[in-house]
Structure formats: structure tokens, C-alpha cells
Amino acid sequence: MAEGIPHVVYDTSIKLMSVVLNISSRHQGHPYLIPAGFGNFSLGTYMYNRHAESKIIETMQELLEEEPYSVGVITNPQFRFNNDQYRQLEIATITCGSISVVAAMSVLSMYTYLLIYYPRDANRVSLHCVIASIIFSLVDHCFNLAALRTDINSSFCDSFRAIDGFVTLASSCLLGMVGVHLLLVFYFHVRRWPCRPEYILIPIAVVYAVVGNILGYVWNNVPEDFHTIYLQLPHLCWYYSNFIDRLYNSTAWIYYYSFVFFIIVVSLSCSLIAMRRVYMDKAENQARLLKIAARNTGNTSPISVISKGRGNGAVKNLVARSIQDHPDSFSKIVIRSLLYPLTPCLVYIWGFGLQMYLVQSDHHASFGIAMMNVIMTRLEGFFIAGIFFMDPTVHKIQKELWTNFKAFICCHQRRPSVPAPTIRTTPADKPGPVSIPSPHTTISSSGVAQPEPLLLSPGSIMFLDHDSRHSLD
């Protein structure tokens, strides 16, 4: 570095020389690829004629004599990624985005199957909110994949900048609405709605997403000539919208992230309150059942049959065993409602941390954090699909489909066998019914097996129809 020249001005001169070199070489039909990281830039690695060299020196002197320090502030990028690093970010976007697209299509296919064959299980508020969220997420992934091959000056890029923030915030808000709805149902006991609850929750999520992106819609502080500063990379719409836009519109990005984490905090709080209420009601119901069982211990007729000599605590043991064998399905619902808002928290925490670090203009973005941000945001659809397939109804349908598939494969792989000859029998040759004594069967004096009547206490009868219970989410 020349003595007496500030580091910013020296760094600026190197970048300006590379800019003019690109411009002059393009006019002569020799395009050069200038890397985005200019720290190790060497002019000796490029061949240019004497006319271009004199033009570079003349342009540098004019710019540095007018406003040397202000030019250094403009041309000091905080994302110093070279072409190899950019290709790695691009590959991560394509790979993870494709995985999320396939996962989202699997969710939509499974939900269509539910609508056709299990309409009662598919007609739930939580599933409708999750399906709407996965649709928004699918749109986001498709737009990001398309932006990788779109020029920045196209009309699609302007639309992508507006749509990208909207669909991501709407998807996160719809996941948070699951916890809000459970709080209204389990804690406030809101059973009557003027219409279907999702007809109210989904428009609220849409309005919330618009408000959360209003600053990005109104203000855009990116200079028109910024592509001459960052050279090759930002000519693609995806790099511009996900990285360069953060530098000039940091206030809009922080405003956007505040809305994302606000709905996360609200949804987690609602889910925790609903979970506490569910477990309190569950403990109260179990205590009531045990109290009923203890009250029936004085009745000798059912106890003599059920206990089989095990004492007066047989009814309590029967109730306790039934409670353990048939856990409350509402607990699983509330636990899944905790996982839904944790998904956007896991996804967007990296981008939020990166944005807060770049508030200081002398900070440079870490490539590792930027890579994590790209990977997690592109895997959001995969995470949502994983929680969706944890639903007990969906899990049961998966087992049924897998069983039918294995039966279909085994049926086609089995060789056809020769049918056995049929033998006609007379009515006298038909075997009669065989009586097999069961644990609750007594043998009469005539040698005929007679079933012994089984008496149940009122507390144990409540568990006989546990398979008919249906969740209210």
C-alpha cells in the first residue's frame, strides 16, 4: 500500500480499477470475470492494452480528487463472497429447495387422499392452516429457484422482491395460528364461530404478512448503479434480493424479522397455556375416575368377578391400567402445536442474526452464517412436512397404505397354485360347533361349557369405547 493513502481509499482504487477494466474490456470484445472479493486482487493477472490502462488511471484520478472518502463508503461491500462461494450458495439453494418442493407435494397429495377417503379427519382447522402454510412455502421455494436464473433488470425480479417476504411471513403466521386456535378452544372454550375458524384465521395471516412487509414495499434505498459496484454476482435476482438488499434496506429487514418473531412468541405462549390446561383437565378426569372406582370397592358382586382374589384394589388397578394404555390424544395435538412455531424460529434465526450483525457498516458477513441461512430457509417446507406426517391420523393412513402395498407386491410375486379338488359332504359329515372354555367359562355338571357373566364397575365401562374418540383440533 502506498504510504499516506488510507486503507479505504486504497481499497476503493483497486475496485474502481477493476470496474473500468471490465467496462473497457467489454467494449473491445474481451469480457473478464472479476471476483467479488477484491482483497487479493492483482492487476498483473489480467492483460489489457495501453489505452485501457491510461483510461483507468485517468478515471481513478478524477474520482479520488473529487470525493475520495465518500466513494469508499459506497464501494465497501459487506458480502465479500467470491465466485466459488456463490456457487456453493447456489447449489445449496437448488438442493434444499428441491427437497422442500418434493416434501410439499407429498403433503398436498396425502391431504388430497384424506379429503377423498377420510373427509372427517381432513376437515380440521389445524390441518387447514398447515395446508395453507405449505402452499405459501411451496410458492416461495419455486420463486427462489426461478430467481437463480433471472436477470436483475427483469420485471420478475421486482415482483419477486415483493412476493418473497409476503409468502414467508404468511407461512410462518399460519403455523402460529394453530396454537392460537387451540388456546381459544381449550382455554376460553370458544365453540361457536360465525363461520369456519380458518375462514377468519387465514385472512388475518394474509393481512399480517402485508403489514410486516409494508416498509419494503414503500421504500427501496438500493442505488440504481449498484451493479457496477458488485460486478458479476448481483446481476442475478436471487443474490440481489437475499443479500444486496440487506445492506441498503436494513430497517425494512429488521422490521420484517420483528413480525416473524412476534408471531412465534405469541404462538408458543398460546400453545404452552393450552398444554397446561389440557394436562390439568386430564389430571382432574383421572382423579374423578379413581374416586368413582374407590367408591365402588364396597360392591361385592363386581369385585368378586374382576379381582379373582386380588383384593379390593382391583378396580383401582383396572382404571389406572386403562389410563396408561389409552393416553389422551389431545396432549399429542398440543405438542404438535408447539413444534409448528418452532419451525420458523429454527429457520429464520440465522438470517436475523446475520442482519443484526450487518448493522455496523464495518462488519463483514460470515460465509458460514450465510450458508446456514440459505440451507434452513430452503428446508422450511421439509420441516413442515415432517410435522404434518406426525399426525396420528396421517400416520395410521401411512401404515394402511404400506400394508396394502406389501400385500399387492406379495400377491403378484406369488406363483399361481393348482386349486384343490372340491369334495361334496353330506349334512351329517359337517363338523359341529366346538366349545372351547375361556378364562371366564365354567363347566356345568352335564359337561357343557357355559360362559360366566362378566360384571364391570361403572368406572371401567368408560374405557370400552376409547377408539371412537375423535380429536377436536
Distances (CA, A) of 385 to 216, 278, 377, 397: 29, 25, 14, 15
Question: And the C-alpha cell for 415?
Answer: 406363483
pLDDT above 70 (res 425): no
- More confident position, 68 or 319: 319
Q: What is the mean pLDDT of residues 60-78?
A: 46
Residue 74, pLDDT score: 38
Residue recorded with cell 403378484:
412
Residue 36, pLDDT score: 40
Per-residue pLDDT reduced to its tens digit, 227-278: 544 545 546 789 888 888 888 899 999 999 999 999 999 999 999 998 888 8
Q: At what angle do helices 198-212 and 155-182 cross, to 10 degrees?
A: 130
Per-residue pLDDT reduced to its tens digit, 176-234: 999 999 899 988 989 889 999 999 999 999 999 999 999 999 988 887 766 544 545 54
Residue recorded with cell 409494508:
214
Residue 134, pLDDT score: 96
Where does the pLDDT of residue 390 fall: very low under 50, low under 70, confident under 90, or very high at 90 and above? confident
Where does the pLDDT of residue 69 fall: very low under 50, low under 70, confident under 90, or very high at 90 and above? very low
CA distance 373 to 365: 12
Per-residue pLDDT reduced to its tens digit, 305-331: 444 445 445 656 666 666 665 555 666
Where does the pLDDT of residue 468 fall: very low under 50, low under 70, confident under 90, or very high at 90 and above? very low
Amino acid, single-letter form, for residue 326:
H
Structural domains of the chain in order of their starting residue, each with its CATH number: 7-74 (no CATH), 83-283+326-402 (1.20.1070.10)
For the chain, how long is the longest CA-to-CA vector?
123
Residue recorded with cell 377420510:
118
